[in-house]
A and B are shown apart, each in its own frame.
Chain A
Amino acid sequence: MKNKIIISVFSCLVLLQIATPLSMIIKREIVLKDGVSFRFKTQPIDPYDAFRGRYVALRVEASRIQRPLSFETEYGKQVYAQIAVDKDGFAKISGVTVRKPDKGSYLPARVLYSSAKDTTLDLSIDRYYMEEKSAPRAEHLYRKYSAQNKKEAYIEVKIKDGFVVIEGLYIGDKKIEDLVNSEKQVIK
């Protein structure tokens, strides 16, 4: 009897253990399929995570906005950033609200820093995972290209109902993985 209970509870746990990563996957696949595309200008820097591997940390330019806002912006405050496209085709924050916007693309964010002039938000777009040797090369390439040709780095994301999924990291018009691979071939 006791064994039966253990096995049935274990079966529920098995389902839960599979459902958790699966629900994470499905949610993101839906956003990638139906979400609106945006390009955020960014700076990639290469750090390391023992569990999830090496990634390039992203410093999204649009996350800093001019003050004053119409409400207090203390550290950690939960807000909503409305996302629009600027004249160059890159994403920008067109407004910040405390309540969830009814229409348009938006992202939930937290206030990181606030000064008299501007406020920086945490938009939860902070890492792009790459193969362990590619991540440091990506940072190197970004530095090289941004110094020589003024080529800009940006990430392409899909946003749906306040949920964001990163599609790719680009320097100029090339995907970072392709750029790293072509660089490898030149070296060979």
Chain B
Amino acid sequence: MNKKLIESLYHELPDLVKNGVLTQEAADSLKRHYAEVKITSKKWFMFMLCGLVGTILIGLGIILIFAHNWDQLSRLTRTVLSLAPLVIGQGFAFWVLVKRQESSIFKECAATFLTLIVGSSLALVCQTYNIPGDTASFTFAWMMLILPLVYLMQASIPAVVYCIGITIWAGQFWNEPLHSVFFWPLVVLIIPHFIWSLRQEKYSLRAAILSFVMMVCVYVGTQITLGNGLPLTWFVIEPCLMVIFYLVGSYKFKRISTNWQLPLLRIGALGIFAHAFIFTFLSSWSSIRLWKPYSEADVFGLAALPGNIISLVIVSVSILMLYDFVKRRQLMPALFGSLSLLAVVVYFMTMAGTPNMLAVFIFNIYLFALSIIRIIFGARSNRLDVVNTGMLMLAILILARFFDSDINFILKGVVFIAVGLGFLLANIMMLKQARSQR
């Protein structure tokens, strides 16, 4: 049940008891059933928001002022300037840890400020000594120096900066698979904080932001680090990753569904639709056997081994999660999640030499079935949002096929007429059924 609904139910309970609609025992057992909902005060939220925005702006302002690069300053002055804000930031964070240990607002703000200041002091040293533009080592040093802050101060903005930083770091080694694959151990370092933030119901917005950034970074990181630029990345690993996002978002960890689940669920579903939709075009498959790896390194050799193991883990996890949902008979998540299995099977079939048209046909049927089942599911459960998204998916698919120049007109025409007739027949049958029921 939605958190807001429970909040309003709890709000109504005293009145219901007072007017004799519910007994006190019934009200208590309702509360026990749904458990306690921590109501976040708006004031607290505003404090957090203002504090964070202020800190981020000051930190960025300091970076910009240093970036001006004052010609007149001697090297000694610059050294002092690069270290002084760092010491101030550290002093502030230290004070918060000693005196304001309980205040999450103070901890988040102090950690965010220190995060930015560490970057600015490193940048100023680079500027003073004209250190070569090695973005990878600059970013790596910065991220390693801020990572402990995430855990010591239980702060999520440094975690967001860390996620973006390690993705930029991996991007510098896009053509060196043995180097870029270290992105994954670096991602693992932030996962305990991610899980912690998901458990803090009070911070649902914070968890949502972190989930969103993590998803984007892991997706971009996958493109950079796995599959070595071969179609495997695009056709198998990424759909499986989207399925993992979507299915994690579909799990109900607690009885109350919280906001944090939405970014995983929504972006996962959008990613699944986007991949499946692109696979419905013949042009996506036509050059699949001509792709060349990014680097000269052997795709299945030792250099590519760590990346290949991680890819295998991603694919296996997505298929195991799909199996779990099928076992629990959750139709909608299982249908969306089946993209992973479908992508693996169709990719290897096509690579083995089956016609590209077969792959196109399978994905058209898949998306068509997915949108129809979504519409039916929404209509049965009286959920207009589900019906509408199903209709939208179907409309996009139909429009794309109507204008698709890869398929000849006669075939398209015949399929459109057949599907149209199918709709009419289904309609007539449903009407008959409804009449007989009356």
Contacts and interface: CB of A to CB of B under 8 A. Distances in A.
A17 B123 contact: no
B67 A52 contact: yes
Interface string B79-92: 10011001100100
Given A7-B98, A21-B83, A124-B132, A129 B127 contact: yes
A3 B121 CA distance: 28
B380 interface: no
A52 to B, nearest CB: 5
Interface string B130-151: 1111100000010001001100
A112 B349 CA distance: 40
Interface stretch (A8-16, A36-44, A84-92, A146-154): A8-16
Given A7-B97, A10-B97, A127-B132, A21 B122 contact: yes
Contact of B176 (A76, A131, A132, A134): A76
A24 B131 contact: yes
A172 to B, nearest CB: 19
A76 B175 CA distance: 10
A130 interface: yes
A177 to B, nearest CB: 6
A166 B130 CA distance: 6
B165 to A, nearest CB: 12
B211 to A, nearest CB: 26
A24 B433 CA distance: 80
A14 B67 contact: no
Given A7-B97, A9-B152, A21-B122, A54 B69 contact: yes
B66 interface: yes
Contacts of A116: none
Main secondary structure of the interface of B (DSSP, over half): helix
B129 A24 contact: yes
Contacts of A124: 132, 134
A54 B127 CA distance: 9
A154 to B, nearest CB: 14
A53 B71 contact: no
Interface in A120-173: 124-132, 134, 165-166
Contact of B67 (A25, A50, A166): A50
Nearest to A48: B67
A165 B118 CA distance: 22
B125 A25 contact: yes
A127 B122 CA distance: 16
Interface in B36-72: 63, 66-71
B78 to A, nearest CB: 9
B130 A17 contact: no
Given A14-B94, A126-B132, 17 more contacts: A7-B94, A7-B97, A7-B98, A9-B148, A13-B148, A17-B86, A17-B145, A21-B83, A49-B67, A50-B67, A51-B119, A53-B68, A53-B127, A55-B130, A129-B126, A129-B127, A132-B68
